[in-house]
Amino acid sequence: MDYGFWIALGLDIVSAAFVITGAVFVLAGAIGVIRLPDFYTRMHAAGVTDTLGAELIVIGLMIQGGFTLITVKLALLGVFVFLTSPTATHAVANAAYKSGLKPLLTRYRPHAGSDDGGAA
């Protein structure tokens, strides 16, 4: 009995699951950016894209790469995204704050009057 085929298939399924889950989180982040009201709250939604979304896709690709130099490079890529994305986010947020953009600090509930809002 040849197990090689089944192991390759299993790895493909696991890797596809990681990549698809990552893509779903990227999509959720994009939808959040559109739905949330102001600059600072949208930044939180964008954070979903470059933490969980990006890292899950990198993990999925690492499984595809197997024990090769490509996997090493992908791992380093994951670490660099992990280290640089908060720095970039902070730079953008700090620039907005310094230039006087006031954050929205009141309750935001646009659908409160609708059927969904009444139920919740």
Partner 1 sequence: MASRLFYGVLLALVLSVLWLLLSGYWFKPLLVGFGVLAVVVALVTTARMGLLDGESVPFARLPHYLKYWSWLGAEIFKANIAVVRISMAPDLNIKPVMTRVAVTAKTDMARTTYANSITLTPGTVTVEVEETGFLVHALTEEFADQDAFRDIERRAIEAVEGKDVLEKPRGEA
* Nearest distance, CB of residue 8 and partner 1, angstroms: 24
- Catalog residues that contact partner 1 under the rule CB under 8 A: 25, 28-29, 31-32, 35-38, 40-41, 43-45, 47-48, 51-52, 55, 69, 72-73, 76, 82-83, 85-87, 89-90, 93-94, 97-98, 103-112, 114, 116-117, 119-120
* Nearest distance, CB of residue 55 and partner 1, angstroms: 8
**Ramachandran category for residue 36: left, alpha or beta (phi over 0 → left; psi -120 to 50 → alpha):** beta
Q: Which C-beta is closer to partner 1: that of 14 or that of 52?
A: 52
Contacts of 99 (CB under 8 A, 6+ apart): none
* Nearest distance, CB of residue 38 and partner 1, angstroms: 8
**DSSP states of 70-105:** HHHHHHHHHHHHHHHHHHHHHHHHHHHHHTTPPPP-
C-beta of residue 61 within 8 angstroms of C-beta of residue 16: no
Q: Which C-beta is closer to partner 1: that of 54 or that of 63?
A: 54
